[in-house]
Amino acid sequence: MFLKKTVEDVELEGKKVLVRVDFNLPLDPDTGLPTSDSRIKATLPTLEYLILRGAKLILCSHLGRPGGQVVESLRMSKVVPPLSQLLRRKIVLASDCVGEEVRQKAKVMSEGDILLLENLRFHPEEERNDAEFARELARPADVFVNDAFGVSHRSHASVVGVAALLPAVAGFLVQKEVSFITGALENPSHPLALLLGGAKVKDKIGVLENALDKVDLLLLGGGMAQTFLHFQGYKVGGSEVEKDKADFVASIMKKAQRKGIKLLLPQDVVVTRDIRNPDSTKVTEISSMPSDFTIADIGPATVNEFSEELRKCHTIAWNGPMGVYETPQFASGTHALAHLLSQISATTIIGGGSTAEVVEELGLSDKMTWVSTGGGASLMLLEGKKLPGVEVLLDK
């Protein structure tokens, strides 16, 4: 249950509404233009609701990592064409996100008008949650709406600072993200499986600790599985191992066994002599891993075993790829499991970041129950933690 107020709980007609959105769109390195509009589409229900209710929309977002400086290639003007096309409305663009120009443009707005502010991160004060910067952001507005789930784990001025200065509520995207992800672990239909990948155990410590009190099945792939395999006594060749995680791995294995949780690791792997040279690639059982090779993906037998177990589950949460998916020769395991999850009847929650990118690239997003728009934020929720950008909103 979502316990914060949403846009449905406040008066909107004629109000100037500052909406924190996540329009940090991926940009083509050659053309500099957006390659996907999925983050805009994700927030359309909120924006269309605000327009329908007679609000005046002041949208703010960051784009890229300008490091507190004006970077011409990261101006929000890149977002205007897809945003205007999707909303079928004219977008007025401000040359900054604070200041007299913003206040003057906001003053002459009519109901349903949309003002898009310049990149928030052109100002170093944004990421520092500077109080004066937050006041300037909030100054033209009557209400604040957070619909930027992807940055809700950040204590930035546009996320938590302005929320302390205006009546602050959630947009529909934030409401759904929190409800789906927390619901997957707190009130799931069992059996519940957690499929975890990615490069490092250290990145998923909180998730593993939180999940072991809730899941029935834990499947590990990616670089983090190498560390588990190493401490089980398997040789992993030249693969990276987090040797300082021995005690943690041992505790997870013992706790899983004690609680009757089935924990699966790769039984076969795709290996290569050089990650940058995918020509020297073969499949091997983990028990006969060659010493001069490096693990780059889970193997077909592991895909089959994982698939067989996942088909038995009613709820599946997935965070992290199974291998070096950016290289096509090492993406098979990740792609196979993405296709599997798109075909089964279970509730499937895809935990943002690179996992969501894979699902979107394969055209499978609409076949999953929920694909998160925020990697770091979804990870924090899977760890059982609260999001600063949600906690600061008004309680119901």
Look up the CATH number of the domain holding residue 211. Answer: 3.40.50.1260
Phi then psi dihedrals of residue 150, to 5 deg? -60, -15
Print the domain residue range for 150.
Answer: 7-174
Which residues are known to be catalytic? 39, 200, 353, 376
Examine the domain organization and report whether 129 and 242 are in the same domain.
Answer: no
CB contact set of 182 (below 8 Å; sequence gap of 6+):
381
Examine the domain organization and report whether 242 and 138 are in the same domain.
Answer: no
Examine the domain organization and report whether 372 and 321 are in the same domain.
Answer: yes
pLDDT score of 1 more than 80 = no
Please compute the mean of the pLDDT values over residues 91-119 and round it to a whole number. 98
Examine the domain organization and report whether 316 and 194 are in the same domain.
Answer: yes
Examine the domain organization and report whether 213 and 72 are in the same domain.
Answer: no
Examine the domain organization and report whether 192 and 341 are in the same domain.
Answer: yes
Please report whether residue 390 resides in a domain.
no
CB contact set of 45 (below 8 Å; sequence gap of 6+):
171, 172, 173
Give the span between the Cα atoms of 20 and 385, in whole angstroms: 21
Query: Which of 140, 174, 208 is the C-terminal boundary of a domain?
Result: 174
Residue 353: per-residue pLDDT: 85
pLDDT score of 184 more than 90 = no
Query: Which of 147, 174, 201 is the C-terminal boundary of a domain?
Result: 174
Confidence band, pLDDT 50/70/90 cuts, at residue 60:
very high
CB contact set of 293 (below 8 Å; sequence gap of 6+):
237, 238, 271, 272, 273, 282, 284
Quote the number of domains for the chain: 2
For 27, counting Cβ atoms within 10 Å of its Cβ (0-12 exposed, 13-18 middle, 19+ buried), the class is middle
pLDDT score of 340 more than 80 = yes
Please report whether residue 86 resides in a domain.
yes
Please report whether residue 79 resides in a domain.
yes
Examine the domain organization and report whether 196 and 166 are in the same domain.
Answer: no
Examine the domain organization and report whether 33 and 140 are in the same domain.
Answer: yes
The model's pTM? 0.92
What are the tens digits of pLDDT across the range 277-336?
887 899 999 999 999 999 999 999 999 999 999 999 999 999 999 999 999 999 999 999
Examine the domain organization and report whether 352 and 288 are in the same domain.
Answer: yes
Please compute the mean of the pLDDT values over residues 20-43 and round it to a whole number. 95
Please report whether residue 124 resides in a domain.
yes
